[in-house]
């Protein structure tokens, strides 16, 4: 892929002085055939921390809709999210995922049907997971969630260093460790995370957002509520028109660790609504409509059962299992994929680059290949 001519590159006819006019035309046609027109000019990457594949593919788990799983009103939660079939349960929990992405894009990772999407870093927790999915390579040096600057350049940093994207790559994240994961100081990326205020530019609505952010008690240490993160990201999208935007949400993991299955499901449902609103915004905005791809995933899975669903990590092997979804003009509408080899978290960064027509493998030695089925020309 790295050797092909990008659709955005023009054929330099001056470099072909020995060709006849007919030969020049033939060469131009060969380039056009070799490099089909790409529609994706922008990519939005979205993650929601620690959302299990089980809920994504089968919806609410019946045995967890109980007071023993922190559910204050089981009957209320059951009415909201329980249905008789897995297909109906997952659609009521994640309607955008299953009425739009599953019909117009692709979803990977239904382990119950033999479709595997997995973490490869062996740790199955956040910083190693985000490093892997953002760089395309698991790194044994990343073995804690400590606030240490990432020695690895992410795909966001790599894209920001290229002329076509410089200054048009941004990240809005709920967790306050992201400035270190993305190495904000070195990378020069716009990274708004944790308790960072949103630049208000003299606007009263953004000033109020910052006041509410400062005056709201978080659900977990170091993580602001996803509603603030989403509002800030949407405003940046509208005002700055980035070509690459990363939205990193966190409440699904926070409420799972707290043992509140009701809030965990509500956060998952809200995450899906945020993605739907983001997609709708893209479809009514010139420059994004029909030219933007979404890549959606998580940093790790979780365990099974009444206790292990709350946790993840090396001691819970099931938490290596994740899910990945892709939607956009260059992704075939293949829906839920059960016909391919296992995919990995390390393929996320190369897939983001591939959707933009960029080859990420060369600048990141050892990086995984893009998910082949997620990009038309890589099938």
Exposure string over 334-357, b if 16+ CB within 10 A, otherwise e: bebbeeeeebbbbbbbbbbbbbbb
Task: Report residue 322 as tokens.
Answer: 């994740």
CB count within 10 Å of CB 57 equals 23
Examine the domain organization and report whether 308 and 186 are in the same domain.
yes
Task: Report residue 150 as tokens.
Answer: 């990432």
**Number of domains making up the chain:** 2
Examine the domain organization and report whether 93 and 177 are in the same domain.
yes
Report how far apart, in Å, the C-alpha atoms of 26 and of each of 29, 30, 37 are. 5, 6, 17
Examine the domain organization and report whether 125 and 188 are in the same domain.
yes
Examine the domain organization and report whether 14 and 129 are in the same domain.
no
Examine the domain organization and report whether 11 and 109 are in the same domain.
no
* pTM confidence score: 0.90
Q: Is the alpha carbon torsion for 141, 145, 150, 152 positive or negative? A: positive
pLDDT value for 37: 79
Length of the chain: 379
Examine the domain organization and report whether 21 and 92 are in the same domain.
no
Examine the domain organization and report whether 373 and 299 are in the same domain.
yes
Domain holding 228, by residue range, is 40-378
Examine the domain organization and report whether 21 and 130 are in the same domain.
no
Examine the domain organization and report whether 141 and 4 are in the same domain.
no
Examine the domain organization and report whether 27 and 89 are in the same domain.
no
Are the beta carbons of 305 and 52 closer than 8 angstroms? Answer: no
pLDDT value for 227: 97
- CATH code of the domain covering residue 119: 3.40.720.10
pLDDT value for 340: 86
Residuewise pLDDT in 10s, the chain (379 residues): 333 334 333 333 334 344 455 554 554 444 444 456 789 999 999 999 999 999 999 999 999 999 999 999 999 999 999 999 999 999 999 999 999 999 999 999 999 999 999 999 999 999 999 999 999 999 999 999 999 999 999 999 999 999 999 999 999 999 999 999 999 999 999 999 999 999 888 899 999 999 999 999 998 889 999 999 999 999 999 999 999 999 999 999 999 999 999 999 999 999 999 999 999 999 999 999 999 999 999 999 999 999 999 999 999 999 999 999 999 999 999 999 998 899 999 999 999 999 999 999 888 889 999 998 999 976 5
Examine the domain organization and report whether 207 and 132 are in the same domain.
yes
Examine the domain organization and report whether 33 and 129 are in the same domain.
no
């Amino acid at each position: 892929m790295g050797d092909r001519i990008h659709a955005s590159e023009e054929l330099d006819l001056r470099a072909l002085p020995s060709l006849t006019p007919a030969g020049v035309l033939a060469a131009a046609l060969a380039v056009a055939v070799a490099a089909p027109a790409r529609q994706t000019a922008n990519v939005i990457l979205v993650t929601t921390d620690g959302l299990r594949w089980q809920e994504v593919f089968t919806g609410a788990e019946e045995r967890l809709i109980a007071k023993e799983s922190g559910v204050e009103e089981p009957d209320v939660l059951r009415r909201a999210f329980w249905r008789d079939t897995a297909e109906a349960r997952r659609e009521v929990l994640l309607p955008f995922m299953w009425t739009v992405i599953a019909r117009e894009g692709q979803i990977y990772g239904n382990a119950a049907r033999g479709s595997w999407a997995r973490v490869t870093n062996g740790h199955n927790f956040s910083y190693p997971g985000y490093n892997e999915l953002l760089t395309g390579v698991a790194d044994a040096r990343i073995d804690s969630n400590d606030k240490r600057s990432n020695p690895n350049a992410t795909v966001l940093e790599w894209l920001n260093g290229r002329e076509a994207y410089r200054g048009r790559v941004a990240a809005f994240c709920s967790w306050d460790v992201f400035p270190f994961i993305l190495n904000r100081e070195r990378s020069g990326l716009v990274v708004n995370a944790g308790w960072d205020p949103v630049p208000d530019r003299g606007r009263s609505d953004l000033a109020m957002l910052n006041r509410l952010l400062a005056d709201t008690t978080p659900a977990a240490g170091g993580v602001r509520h996803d509603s603030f993160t989403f509002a800030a990201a949407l405003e940046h999208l509208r005002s700055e028109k980035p070509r690459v935007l990363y939205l990193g949400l966190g409440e699904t993991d926070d409420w799972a660790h707290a043992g509140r299955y009701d809030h965990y499901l509500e956060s998952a449902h809200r995450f899906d609504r945020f993605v739907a609103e983001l997609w709708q915004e893209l479809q009514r905005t010139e420059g994004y409509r029909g030219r933007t791809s979404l890549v959606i995933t998580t940093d790790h899975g979780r365990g099974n059962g009444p206790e292990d669903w709350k946790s993840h990590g090396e001691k819970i092997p099931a938490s290596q299992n994740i899910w990945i979804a892709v939607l956009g003009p260059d992704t075939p509408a293949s829906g839920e994929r059960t016909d391919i080899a296992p995919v990995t978290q390390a393929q996320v960064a190369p897939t983001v680059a591939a959707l933009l027509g960029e080859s990420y493998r060369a600048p990141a030695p050892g990086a995984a290949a893009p998910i082949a089925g997620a990009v038309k020309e890589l099938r």
